[in-house]
């Protein structure tokens, strides 16, 4: 019996002990958390980027080129240093270069100084870039209504969905629709001639947009005269008033009859000569105008 049991034991496979279960790697979560923390710190860290390695990107938001303001900002940065970093992304087109998400004025000022730019770097695609740019624009209090409306139009023309535009500007769909309708009604050339018009709100821009159908855009661009963009807006709005009186153009008389006509505006007087009637007098007048003006000044002083 004992021998049988022995043979039975030899012939019967010995049950294998179950393979030990691998304990979960509790350090994996910790390492992942540390890695994420490092990535977050990298995203929040500020580095210095050579200013000549930074390019523009995204959509144009400002309508007025503020060369004097950039120069003044450069002097402030020269004296006090750059206290607020800009936001950049890695260029998707050129290795080693960067593109501006927001902080264009600071970058321009630092380029004037020839100094590196303090910046945070993000990995952003084109969609995330314009959303970040739009959110920065919304936070800025100096961006005018028409600049925001024009930014929304650029986003729409760039193929971004209405929801993305709303998210970028933090504005609901109804207001976005109103802004786009106004921006669409203003020809780009006229908008560039007027500028940002920071003192002009949505209602007055809508009044201008409602008056534009049937008007000659080129003549309105010519009408955009004034030292500030607000004054240029007012001049264009006045030019669209159908009840405005026509400009008086009295005849420019010579010794033997009319030579042309005179046009007088608030700040400009224009002499228009008929080449046939003037018969060369216009050319002589232009050549001798400085001497004629000196004689006039001398007589006035007497």
* Domains within the chain, CATH numbers bracketed: 43-61+68-140 (3.90.1530.10), 143-159+187-244 (no CATH), 251-301 (no CATH)
Contact residues for 226 (Cβ-Cβ < 8 A; gap 6+): 232, 234, 235
Give me 104's structure tokens. 């264009």
3-state secondary structure 229-293: HHHHHHHHHHHCCCCCCCCCCCEEEECCEEEEEEEECCCCEEEEECHHHHCCHHHHHHHHHHHHH
Q: How far is CA 176 from CA 123, 173, 259, 284, in A?
A: 28, 5, 54, 58
Region for 58 from its dihedrals, namely left if φ exceeds 0, alpha if ψ lies in -120 to 50, beta otherwise: left
169 close to 137: Cβ distance less than 8 angstroms: yes
Distance CA 252, CA 271 (A): 8
Region for 195 from its dihedrals, namely left if φ exceeds 0, alpha if ψ lies in -120 to 50, beta otherwise: left
pLDDT digits 0-9 by tens, 172-227: 888 888 989 999 999 989 998 998 888 898 999 999 999 999 888 899 999 999 88
Question: pLDDT 10s digit of each residue in the chain, 302 long?
Answer: 444 444 444 344 444 444 444 444 444 554 454 445 444 444 557 889 999 999 887 555 555 556 777 888 888 888 888 888 888 988 888 888 998 887 888 888 899 999 999 998 988 887 777 777 666 655 554 678 888 888 888 888 878 888 888 877 777 888 888 989 999 999 989 998 998 888 898 999 999 999 999 888 899 999 999 888 899 999 999 999 865 455 556 777 777 778 788 877 767 788 888 778 778 888 888 888 888 888 878 877 76
The predicted model scores a pTM of 0.46
Give me 153's structure tokens. 């139009």
pLDDT digits 0-9 by tens, 256-284: 778 788 877 767 788 888 778 778 888 88
Neighbour-count burial of 139, counting CB atoms closer than 10 A to its CB (0-12 exposed, 13-18 middle, 19+ buried) = exposed
Q: How far is CA 180 from CA 71, 153, 156, 159, 173, in A?
A: 33, 6, 9, 14, 10
Place of tokens 């006039």: 296
- Residue 216: which of 184, 249, 239, 243 has the closest Cα? 239
């Amino acid at each position: 019996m004992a021998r049988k049991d022995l043979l039975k034991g030899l012939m019967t496979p010995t049950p294998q002990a179950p393979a030990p279960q691998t304990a979960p790697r509790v350090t994996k979560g910790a390492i992942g958390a540390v890695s994420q923390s490092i990535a977050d710190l990298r995203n929040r860290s500020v580095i210095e980027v050579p200013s000549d390695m930074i390019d523009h990107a995204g959509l144009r938001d400002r309508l007025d080129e503020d060369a004097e303001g950039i120069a003044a900002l450069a002097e402030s940065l020269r004296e006090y240093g750059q206290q607020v970093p800009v936001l950049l992304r890695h260029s998707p087109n050129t290795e080693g270069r960067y593109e501006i998400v927001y902080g264009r004025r600071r970058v321009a000022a630092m380029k004037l100084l020839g100094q590196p730019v303090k910046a945070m770097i993000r990995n952003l695609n084109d969609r995330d870039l314009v959303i970040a740019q739009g959110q920065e624009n919304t936070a800025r209090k100096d961006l005018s209504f028409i600049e925001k409306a024009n930014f929304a139009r650029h986003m729409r023309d760039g193929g971004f969905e209405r929801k993305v535009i709303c998210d970028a500007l933090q504005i609901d769909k109804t207001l976005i629709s109103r802004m786009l309708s106004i921006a669409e009604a203003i020809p780009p050339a006229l908008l560039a001639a007027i500028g940002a018009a920071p003192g002009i709100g949505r209602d007055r821009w809508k009044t201008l947009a409602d008056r534009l159908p049937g008007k000659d855009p080129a003549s309105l661009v010519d009408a955009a005269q004034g030292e500030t963009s607000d004054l240029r807006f007012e001049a264009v709005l006045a030019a669209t008033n159908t009840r405005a009186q026509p400009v008086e153009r009295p005849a420019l008389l010579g010794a033997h009859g009319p030579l042309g006509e005179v046009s007088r505006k608030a700040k400009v007087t224009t002499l228009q000569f008929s080449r046939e009637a003037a018969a060369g007098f216009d050319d002589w007048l232009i050549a001798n105008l400085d001497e004629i003006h000196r004689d006039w000044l001398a007589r006035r002083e007497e």
